[in-house]
Amino acid sequence: MTQTTDDPTTDPEAAAPAPAPAPEPAPVRTGDDDALPPKFAQAIKAKRQANQHDAASTRERILDAALDLFVEQGYDGTSLRQIAEQLGVTKAALYYHFESKEDILMALHMRLHEFGIGAIAKMGDEPITLEQWGALLDQIVGQMLAQRKLFLMHERNQAVLEKLHNQDHDAEHDDIQNQFRKILLDTRVAERDRVRMAASMGAAFAGLFLAGEAFPDSDTAKLGEMLRECVRDVIAG
């Protein structure tokens, strides 16, 4: 009869060395330099990104609500309380994103700069052709017609906007103008072409700024095609 024994030298399982414990995952450093396990760091990061997204979304909702009110009843006739009520939030929630009603108006105005900046950035340093210029204006017309209400707001609140130009805005505004000026002053492009480029730009922007007030009931797609036709006619001569 075989006898069992507690002697580890005769027990194969006991004789085998115990497996080494798995190493702990390396801690992840967060923005405040606290060491956290990866799952906690990922959760914090996801929460932070969600909060940033929610804040950006709320900010845009405030601007959209303010835009509707500024168009309907004018900047002076609109209060922060009315903007808050339009969104179903408190005035304190507005102050979290904007310090004043003036800041809201300036943020709406700066939306227009996004069109010019994005379009100019694609031009590069090479001399531009009339074909490229036409494509540039075509893009700007399309983008801006999608925001016709912004132009209507500008038309109805010009006096207030002129008073609100601050240093940061003026610097950006001057930069956009300087970029257009740089293109039109490029002597590598024939003078005749540059004159047509300048004239077509005037036709495009004049039409865009008049589109809100002069043609409020016109179909956007049809208005855009007519405006593009005018621009093409000026460029073609």
Q: What is the pLDDT of residues 202-236, one digit of tens each?
A: 988 888 777 666 777 788 888 889 999 999 999 99
Place of tokens 């069109």: 115
- Distance from C-alpha of 122 to C-alpha of 133, rounded to nearest angstrom: 11
Indicate if the pLDDT at residue 91 is higher than 80: yes
In the chain, alpha helices (H): 12-15, 38-73, 80-87, 91-97, 101-121, 130-145, 148-156, 158-164, 167-184, 191-214, 220-236
- Distance from C-alpha of 70 to C-alpha of 60, rounded to nearest angstrom: 15
- Distance from C-alpha of 41 to C-alpha of 129, rounded to nearest angstrom: 52
Confidence of residue 147 (pLDDT cuts 50, 70, 90): confident
Among 11-20, 83-92, 150-159, 164-173, the minimum mean pLDDT is found in 11-20
Q: CB 188: neighbour CB atoms within 10 A?
A: 8
pLDDT of residue 207: 80
pLDDT of residue 113: 73
Indicate if the pLDDT at residue 48 is higher than 80: no
Burial class of residue 5 in the structure, from the number of CB atoms within 10 Å of its CB (0-12 exposed, 13-18 middle, 19+ buried): exposed
Residues in contact with 145: Cβ distance below 8 Å, sequence separation at least 6, in sequence order: 208, 211, 220, 223, 224, 227
pLDDT of residue 3: 47
Q: State percent of the chain over pLDDT 70.
A: 69
| Domain 37-98 superfamily per CATH | Homeodomain-like (1.10.10.60)
DSSP conformational letter for 35: E
- Distance from C-alpha of 196 to C-alpha of 130, rounded to nearest angstrom: 8
pLDDT of residue 154: 85
pLDDT of residue 76: 94
Place of tokens 């700066």: 110
Among 41-50, 68-77, 133-142, 209-218, the minimum mean pLDDT is found in 41-50
196 compared with 31, residue with greater pLDDT: 196
Query: Is-contact 87 61, C-beta < 8 A?
Result: yes
